[in-house]
Amino acid sequence: MTRPILEAQNIIKTLGSGPAQVQVLKGVNFDLMPGELTLLMGPSGSGKTTLLSILGCILTPDSGSLQIAGQSTAGLNAESMADLRRRHVGFVFQAYNLVPTLTALENVMLALDLRGASMADAPDLAADALRAVGLSHRENAMPGKLSGGEKQRVSIARALAGSPSVILADEPTAALDAENGKAVMELLAQVAKDSNRGVLAVTHDHRTLEYADRIIRIEDGRIVGRARRREAGAPITPNVSWGTAGHALVEHAEAMA
- On the question of pLDDT at 231 being above 60, the answer is no
With a cut of 90, say whether residue 73 has pLDDT above it: yes
131 CB-side CA count, 13 A:
6
Considering the domain delimited by 6-98+165-254, tell me its CATH architecture: 3-Layer(aba) Sandwich (3.40)
Whether residue 166 is predicted with pLDDT greater than 70 in this model: the reply is yes
Q: What is the pLDDT of residue 218?
A: 96
| Domain range summary for the chain, segments of one domain joined by + | 6-98+165-254
- Report residue 98's pLDDT band, with 50, 70 and 90 as the boundaries: very high
Residue 4 pLDDT more than 60? Answer: yes
pLDDT at 257 exceeding the cut of 70: no
pLDDT of residue 229: 74
For 28-70, the pLDDT digits (tens) are 999 999 999 999 999 988 999 999 999 999 999 999 999 999 9
C-alpha distance across the termini of the chain, in Å = 24
Look at residue 233 in the predicted model and tell me its pLDDT: 38
Answer whether residue 253 shows pLDDT above 90. Answer: no
In the prediction, which pLDDT does 230 show?
57
* pLDDT score of 245 more than 70: no
Q: Mean pLDDT, to the nearest integer, of 189-213? A: 93
Q: How confident is the model at residue 158, as a pLDDT?
A: 95
- Residue 221 region, left (φ>0) first, then alpha (ψ -120 to 50), else beta? left
